[in-house]
Structure 1
Amino acid sequence: MAKQIRLNAFNMNCIGHINHGLWTHPRDTSTQYKTLDYWTNLARLLERGLFDGLFIADIVGTYDIYGQSLDVTLKESIQLPVNDPLLLVSAMAAVTRHLGFGLTANLTYEAPYLFARRLSTLDHLSNGRVGWNIVTGYLDSAARAMGLRQQPEHDRRYDQADEYLQVLYKLLEGSWEDDAVVADRAQRVYTRPDKVHKVSHHGEFYDVEGYHLCEPSPQRTPVLFQAGSSARGLAFAGNHAECVFISGQDKAATRAQVDKVRAAAAAAGRDPQAVKVFMGITVIVAPTEHEAQALHAEYLRHASPEAGVAHFAASTGVDFAAYGLDEPIGFSQGNAIQSATRQLQDNAWTRRRLLQQHALGGRYVTLVGAPEQVAEQLIGWVDDTGLDGFNLTRTVTPESFEAFIDLVVPQLQQRGRYKTAYADGTLREKLFASQPHLPAGHPGARYRTTHIPAPTGVLRHA
């Protein structure tokens, strides 16, 4: 049976996300991001399109590398202003039954004990539809705002992330047993004390001693997303990630990246197919190819290539504004996103070339065409690279999502490559046709409390 394509809508609680400048288009509604209606309407739309999830990116710093200022960032609203992504879930979950929510949170600035409570709360309120996109940060502006002089060194951030996950697994998986809550009114016992265990963690980065504050949620641990593509990031993904988000520019490089992700899972002793790989992509579709090309040209007139390059400057740590249009851009290994800096190392880039690459305000692969053309191209990407699906960016919102749902989804369904109805269950069950909890081969499952009687305060692992 042909692989079913998975789809997340890719968005952010801000105006300008990936394809910058398109907030100026007269039909774009992204300036309404501060309202609940904007998000609940989007959630209903995506569920109508049978999307697996809404993947919400986030940053906690500002893009101040380009021109050594915030001028372009503020004028073009390059992910600034940006609001908290987690606070959106309750409202969207209330108007949907199946749509999942992949939420980005930077562990460098989130205490694991309280963050575990936020995850469990959202998993309860959504009936098990929450995922966490694990990020360690890459902006020195965020570090300074949080009281640090600069970001910790790249690989060191992943060392901290490994320990952070250990703490979360102990809290989410090991503190409360499955049958701890009995809610026995007659006996006046809501929770059995012998079924709740203290977590005692004393490591290099974290000291946590206490009980998880929430009873077990439908998934316990949310579906774990991750996007690192460096050697250290891949090792982390191989150990922990259930879904990995990559950025590809051509099929050969994407195939190689997918293979690396699956090899990392195998090296960690996990099933390589236990990880689903998503690629960011932009689609501009209309009833005919001619109309799609015309729409693309219309969008280009509103896009801001300079804003796209300013965003990319923050990803690399290189101030592209300091270079002439045709001056070669020098490569230096910094402490930002290594996959972004590798692009500079491997190619003879100039600012003019970067502006051309960011013509639509972003640098993701862009498919333009009639519905059947787009569907065949999406299928080709999956079949040729081993991808499981896509994070679909927005251009003009909400019409870009509406067009995809109305025009492309039926074409994929006709070809047997996209579901015609949601499966039951939690987000993890929908994605993996499995149990709601982390599978036995995942390292987090090792922290589950056994059902062997133990004194309160002792954490035992399976």
Structure 2
Amino acid sequence: MTRRIRFNAFDMSCVVHQSPGLWRHPEDQSHRYTDLRYWTDLAQLLERGIFDGIFIADVLGLYDIYGSSPDQALRSGAQVPVTDPLPLVSAMAAVTDNLGFGLTTGTAFEHPFPFARRISTLDHLTDGRLGWNVVTGYLPSAAENLQSRGQLDTFDHDARYDHADEYLEVLYKLWEGSWEDDAVIADPLTGVYTDPSKVHPVNHHGARYTVPGIHVTEPSPQRTPVIFQAGASSRGSAFAATHAEAVFVAAPTREKLAAVVNTLTTKLEEAGRSRSDVVIYALLTVITGATEEEAQAKAAEYRSYVDPEGALALMSGWMGVDFSRFDLDDPVAGIESNAIQSAVAAFQRSAGEDGREWTVRELAEFGGIGGTGPVVVGSGESVADQLEEWVDATGVDGFNLAYAVTPGTFRDIVEYVVPVLQARGEYPEEYTPGTLRRKLFGSDRVPDNHPAAAYRTAVPAQSGETL
């Protein structure tokens, strides 16, 4: 059976996303993150490359664990300054017809009722090309700046997912259960735009939220956007197995990545779903050129710009540990974290075939380009070979492609790698028409075994309630 390899672009509205120091490279354009033309040009480039979509990461806090201060993150530009990704989507959608958009927002920092409207709005404006990456938050600085008077919400890792479960329940009720499919009549003869009997209060009364009313937006093309998730801890993978349709995973080696995929597959089965119900993208950075020599020279040049302390500032935030307290040759071992537990696990126990623990120095060097994912270097043919090997060894469906320099990294992939994969019959030459979910799974709506489907039948008004 011929492989199908998928590409998704991984970006963030900031100067330093996954490769600290590379903003100084003369070809890097990440400083244009506040220029709308950067994003519209990038969207058109990715659509020419038949990318599934662009996944825009986000944080609402500072990487201030390294040195117990935000200073290093600020000096290196490590995901700060950063702007809101949501306004970018409408502009990118206006200049493309098929590219999908994965937005990152946290469940801990906004009430689900207004959030439901914003997502429905974007799903309308993109003709159903929207995905939402559900994150529970991992930076304490974000939680501290959003606490209510005298009360800071728990930052316990598993408790964040318990909260997220209810958050999604509210959203599913609003998106799937409030408006019937034919509620909007728009009949100029009768003067009725919406049939009130077909719009229902959701009557949610939960541990954290009370949402008694209706969704204020009519159903969008997908109703529920494609649900993205990146949790790979025990609790996170269970959450992903329940809710996710696309999963982003990251691991430095094929062995680690295969283990993550196997765990997720088991969790999917336990949740009454199957491996075919999700698309798994692995974080990876490609450095390529017209020849092997050109690609290797480019990689060496990029590495000369790496900012090791900037990399450790990011790693400290992702793993929840202050690496400034360690000597560079100390092993990365025995870490317990409330941050991204999968990031901790990925760099413990084995640094490779020799079985040594990773050292802090090796962690900084590895994370200097592409964050916690591997870097693949070579000509278009060589990169295609390596991507095939990663897919075969791990069972992933494709790659969430980070950049070394932007948009140059993505342009090189479109120019050198995509044509090779297309010639091998492993990459599409055109898009499937329709919504993002239709492109990925052949249907506009969530499948029957997805928890959102349980709310499709409109919730009737209770206790004599009328609209």
Using structure 2 for the length normalisation, give the TM-score: 0.94
Q: Cα gap change, 1:296/1:196 in structure 2, threshold over 3 Å: closer, same or farther?
A: same
Aligned residues of 1:194 and 1:453 also touching (Cα < 8 A): no
1:123-202 matches, within 5 Å, as: 123-147=123-147, 149=152, 151-202=154-205
Aligned residues of 1:194 and 1:455 also touching (Cα < 8 A): no
Q: Cα gap change, 1:8/1:204 in structure 2, threshold over 3 Å: closer, same or farther?
A: same
Aligned residues of 1:194 and 1:456 also touching (Cα < 8 A): no
Pairing 1:350–2:359 present: yes
- Alpha-carbon offset, residue 76 of structure 1: 1.0
Counterpart residue identity of residue 420, structure 1: E
Aligned counterpart, 2:8: 8
Q: Write out per-residue CA displacement over residues 290-316 of structure 1, whole angstroms, 9 at most, x where no aligned residue.
A: 111100111111121221111001112
- Alpha-carbon offset, residue 330 of structure 1: 5.4
- Alpha-carbon offset, residue 150 of structure 1: 6.4
Measure the CA separation in 1 of the matches of 2:375 and 2:305. Answer: 16
Aligned counterpart, 1:280: 283
Aligned residues of 2:246 and 2:281 also touching (Cα < 8 A): yes
Aligned counterpart, 1:437: 445
Q: Write out per-residue CA displacement over residues 158-199 of structure 1, whole angstroms, 9 at most, x where no aligned residue.
A: 111111111101000000000000110111011001110011
- Alpha-carbon offset, residue 394 of structure 1: 1.1
- Alpha-carbon offset, residue 362 of structure 1: 2.9
Aligned residues of 2:177 and 2:459 also touching (Cα < 8 A): no
Aligned residues of 2:201 and 2:461 also touching (Cα < 8 A): no
1:20-419 matches, within 5 Å, as: 20-147=20-147, 149=152, 151-329=154-332, 331-343=334-346, 345-347=348-350, 348-360=357-369, 362-419=371-428
**Mean alpha-carbon deviation: is it higher for 377-386 or for 129-138?**
377-386
Aligned positions, number: 458
SS at match of 1:438: coil
Aligned counterpart, 2:353: none
Measure the CA separation in 1 of the matches of 2:86 and 2:156. Answer: 27
Pairing 1:448–2:456 present: yes
5+ long unaligned stretches in structure 1:
none
Measure the CA separation in 1 of the matches of 2:346 and 2:214. Answer: 45
Q: Cα gap change, 1:231/1:372 in structure 2, threshold over 3 Å: closer, same or farther?
A: same
SS at match of 1:108: coil
Q: Cα gap change, 1:312/1:120 in structure 2, threshold over 3 Å: closer, same or farther?
A: same
Q: CA RMSD in A?
A: 1.9
Measure the CA separation in 1 of the matches of 2:401 and 2:212. Answer: 41
Measure the CA separation in 1 of the matches of 2:159 and 2:448. Answer: 28
- Alpha-carbon offset, residue 345 of structure 1: 4.3
SS at match of 1:302: coil
Measure the CA separation in 2 of the matches of 1:258 and 1:349. Answer: 22
Counterpart residue identity of residue 129, structure 1: R
Aligned residues of 1:65 and 1:310 also touching (Cα < 8 A): yes
**Mean alpha-carbon deviation: is it higher for 132-141 or for 357-366?**
357-366
Aligned residues of 1:140 and 1:150 also touching (Cα < 8 A): no
5+ long unaligned stretches in structure 2:
351-356
Aligned residues of 1:196 and 1:456 also touching (Cα < 8 A): no
Measure the CA separation in 2 of the matches of 1:75 and 1:128. Answer: 39
Counterpart residue identity of residue 327, structure 2: G
Q: Cα gap change, 1:455/1:20 in structure 2, threshold over 3 Å: closer, same or farther?
A: same
Measure the CA separation in 1 of the matches of 2:459 and 2:228. Answer: 29
SS at match of 1:430: helix
Counterpart residue identity of residue 317, structure 1: G
Q: Write out per-residue CA displacement over residues 32-67 of structure 1, whole angstroms, 9 at most, x where no aligned residue.
A: 100110100001110011100000111111000111
- Alpha-carbon offset, residue 351 of structure 1: 2.5
Measure the CA separation in 2 of the matches of 1:84 and 1:450. Answer: 33
- Alpha-carbon offset, residue 317 of structure 1: 1.7
- Alpha-carbon offset, residue 349 of structure 1: 3.7
Q: Cα gap change, 1:271/1:329 in structure 2, threshold over 3 Å: closer, same or farther?
A: closer
Measure the CA separation in 2 of the matches of 1:278 and 1:49. Answer: 17
Counterpart residue identity of residue 196, structure 1: V
Counterpart residue identity of residue 374, structure 1: V
Q: Write out per-residue CA displacement over residues 409-439 of structure 1, whole angstroms, 9 at most, x where no aligned residue.
A: 0000001000000011100000112x20111
**Mean alpha-carbon deviation: is it higher for 323-332 or for 95-104?**
323-332
SS at match of 2:211: strand
